[in-house]
Structure 1
């Protein structure tokens, strides 16, 4: 059978702009399974044909509406024309762009600018369709730049010359646009009077923010790595948000975190709990962020260190059973004190344990005793530095409150490991990693599309219009 698909475009006044345009002419068989319906290549051809005629009709209608002077209404003389290329998800479309002389009336003559102009420059502020930028940015943040090109080529009739470098440049351009609207960095975001906080409405609930870090390989120095901070914010009744930044590149880390919390409805009278591993970088990031903010040491990082010490104690039992069992009991006592938030008692018994190990150095034959003592000394220092951030974990656990950053550990895996391919030792520049993080975090928490709709309101209008038409049908 022969299939012919024709396109008709009707203007706002009811005039026919385009008619009898064949956008698809194919011969189809009906006796084979693989011939039923449109194939992917036929669908691409159809979409590309519709796009060519539709964009040409829209550009012609826009240019025709500006053929007359806006002051006196006189028709403008045409100087010539050029051909512009507009890149869309359905192929590159050449557009006829007329160039017109400005009117000689007094009002037009008073305007500054060249004597000729192209009306389409006010419409095509970019030669790339916003939806194509969105698709490139979204998929490039989820998979590699090369796989993004392959994906788009498989499902869309895009330009065959699209390459990974172009996709990367477009993603960086969108990330730079996000960076350009970020406010100035401030050391303190508490800038109002406590008396005003009581007048604020009751907040919806606590916001829990977990912050942790990871490392990726440096492109400039192949033998070194640089750090990436990853965070996840969990409000009570709102969507989760991700945070990602390169510490050695970002100049506005606190502002970035503040804007993220404000997007989740943060109020100055709202409780905010920061769970961190106790590192200086993450602790400084969360400092002076909100009046009712609390900084808690992650229970997971405490137990991880205690587990290592417990393994040393088990090894000591094989060489000195009495001392090994005594030290193992004291480690359990220290863990119990920390669980109930008694950091002072935990430090006392940790120091006692260190003295006990020191007394064993002369007679004990345990080969890892010195490493045991060093690990214990590091643990004591760790608890001393973060004693102020050790809450009553047992009480928080019974009240169904978070005590560990397991959700952030998974966020580190999602944000860093699954895209930056640490196992393959992929190398990154600090700028490239930071820009990719800004798009990737918004893709993961579902806010990238909303950001594009803010930049290009027509995207949201087209989406709503399509949904309304589908419901009516």
Structure 2
């Protein structure tokens, strides 16, 4: 069987062009593998059709932009030069014409112009850029390049380096879209305008936590990433991430992140963190309706370590070990019920008792060090301690366990901590921007904001999220 596939283009004025052969296939049917198009045949067909379609569109666009915007006169040609337009369905070879600029306009500008650079300034189709960004946010750059080459006719010019460059370019554009530096929702606004705000949907919760990856410049060291997840009572969760220290304006990023999720200035906001200085400082002054809550999971984790030391003390000094365990239970009970004063009092007494304890317990020194660190931890985060029991019974969040899963999803599964992959701070920070948006489904919305016509495409299978 001989199959000939023809392409015919009809212009906007109804002019019907000549039919051109896109592909000629010889099909022999002997097994299931012979039915329909093979992957190689589909690649050939798509590449050929793409070349003809893009050529026709470009020629039509150039004809409409062949005249001077001011005088209206037709521009004289000065030859052309070849360019490559990289699309999802092959690299399209085009001729970019150059036109003379009228003499009366050459005083403060170039003598020639290339209009096609306005249409395709980056020489990459937005959908290809989107797909490369999406896939490379989920898998390593080399794997993303291999996946593209496997299923699409993009064999030439696709490799890990090219994909990485395209992804970082998209991330840098996201960075440029951030608003000017702001440290609070109140900055530049009048509280009297709050009366005009609609009633907020409910409390929004955002959890922040830290992760570490290996530094490419100093391979014996790690640097810190801060990732988070925000959830509202209505709507989907969103992810946020950045490299601590590389991003000099993290409050601006958090404010922009919350705004894209629909947060408004008079809405209740709860930050849940592990109490570290870095993440705690990010929660300050973001919103007048915000609060910072010390994660209950991290409190109990530290108490658990102390209990293990105390149980070891029981084997060497039963009375002292039993008393320490009892004090730890009391401390945990006070903290759970929000009795900060009694909790600190119990911790202070425990520190003094252990300092005065004379025992042959080999880990006594470590126990003393750990209880002093716990004392400092509670003191530093005293303003973030709440009545956890009351909050828990009312169905509100008191733990950042959901952020622990976020650290694993955002960092571990892509930055390959177990494989000891090494990253530059810039590369990690920019990849975080595309990965977080890919994971929460808002990446497509960012591209539709840059390229509005992408929103008119048939996006079945893509989650539609407001930018």
Alignment partner, residue 212 of structure 2: 215
Q: How many residues align?
A: 460
Alignment partner, residue 86 of structure 1: 85
Alignment partner, residue 171 of structure 1: 167
Within the candidate set 117, 120, 137, 1:141 is matched to 137
> Counterparts of 2:73 and 2:243 in 1: how far apart (Å)?
57
Compute the displacement of 1:103 (Å). Answer: 4.9
Q: Is the 8 A contact 1:56 1:96 kept in 2?
A: no
Alignment partner, residue 231 of structure 2: 234
Q: Is the 8 A contact 2:337 2:390 kept in 1?
A: yes
Compute the displacement of 1:421 (Å). Answer: 0.5
Query: SS where residue 4 of structure 1 aligns?
Result: strand
Alignment partner, residue 471 of structure 1: none
Compute the displacement of 1:131 (Å). Answer: 0.9
> Counterparts of 2:363 and 2:65 in 1: how far apart (Å)?
84
Which one is further off, 452-461 or 118-127? Answer: 118-127
Query: SS where residue 139 of structure 1 aligns?
Result: helix
Any gaps of 5 or more consecutive residues in structure 2? Answer: 462-467
Deviations, residues 384-443 of structure 1 (Å, cap 9, x unaligned): 111111101111111100000011111111111111111111111111111111111111
> Counterparts of 1:383 and 1:72 in 2: how far apart (Å)?
74
TM-score (norm 2): 0.94
Deviations, residues 92-128 of structure 1 (Å, cap 9, x unaligned): 1111333333457xxx658853343333233222211
> Counterparts of 1:358 and 1:126 in 2: how far apart (Å)?
67
> Counterparts of 2:457 and 2:138 in 1: how far apart (Å)?
25
Matches within 5 A, 1:11-410: 11-17=11-17, 19-70=18-69, 74-103=73-102, 109=105, 112-191=108-187, 192-360=189-357, 362=358, 364-410=359-405
Deviations, residues 267-306 of structure 1 (Å, cap 9, x unaligned): 2211000001111111111110001101110000000001
Compute the displacement of 1:460 (Å). Answer: 1.1
> Counterparts of 2:155 and 2:443 in 1: how far apart (Å)?
24
Q: Is the 8 A contact 1:184 1:252 kept in 2?
A: no
Compute the displacement of 1:40 (Å). Answer: 1.1
> Counterparts of 2:352 and 2:102 in 1: how far apart (Å)?
93
Alignment partner, residue 6 of structure 1: 6
Compute the displacement of 1:337 (Å). Answer: 0.8
Query: SS where residue 150 of structure 2 aligns?
Result: helix
Compute the displacement of 1:196 (Å). Answer: 3.8
| Aligned CA distance change for structure 1 residues 122 and 197 (closer, same or farther; 3 Å) | closer
Any gaps of 5 or more consecutive residues in structure 1? Answer: 468-473
Compute the displacement of 1:160 (Å). Answer: 2.3
| Aligned CA distance change for structure 1 residues 144 and 349 (closer, same or farther; 3 Å) | same
Alignment partner, residue 411 of structure 1: 406
Q: Is the 8 A contact 1:248 1:430 kept in 2?
A: no
| 2:431 is aligned with 1:436 | yes
TM-score (norm 1): 0.93
Compute the displacement of 1:194 (Å). Answer: 4.2
Deviations, residues 158-210 of structure 1 (Å, cap 9, x unaligned): 14232211111111111111112222323444234544434432100001010
| Aligned CA distance change for structure 1 residues 116 and 336 (closer, same or farther; 3 Å) | same
Q: Is the 8 A contact 1:198 1:269 kept in 2?
A: no
> Counterparts of 2:38 and 2:80 in 1: how far apart (Å)?
38
> Counterparts of 1:198 and 1:115 in 2: how far apart (Å)?
57
Compute the displacement of 1:445 (Å). Answer: 1.1
Q: Is the 8 A contact 1:7 1:22 kept in 2?
A: yes
| Aligned CA distance change for structure 1 residues 380 and 67 (closer, same or farther; 3 Å) | closer
Compute the displacement of 1:70 (Å). Answer: 5.0
Which one is further off, 316-325 or 297-306? Answer: 316-325
> Counterparts of 2:247 and 2:218 in 1: how far apart (Å)?
19
Compute the displacement of 1:74 (Å). Answer: 4.7
Query: SS where residue 16 of structure 1 aligns?
Result: coil
> Counterparts of 2:72 and 2:319 in 1: how far apart (Å)?
102
> Counterparts of 1:241 and 1:331 in 2: how far apart (Å)?
37
| Aligned CA distance change for structure 1 residues 267 and 68 (closer, same or farther; 3 Å) | closer
> Counterparts of 1:417 and 1:15 in 2: how far apart (Å)?
56
Compute the displacement of 1:350 (Å). Answer: 1.4
Q: Is the 8 A contact 2:9 2:19 kept in 1?
A: no
Deviations, residues 199-228 of structure 1 (Å, cap 9, x unaligned): 432100001010110111111111111111
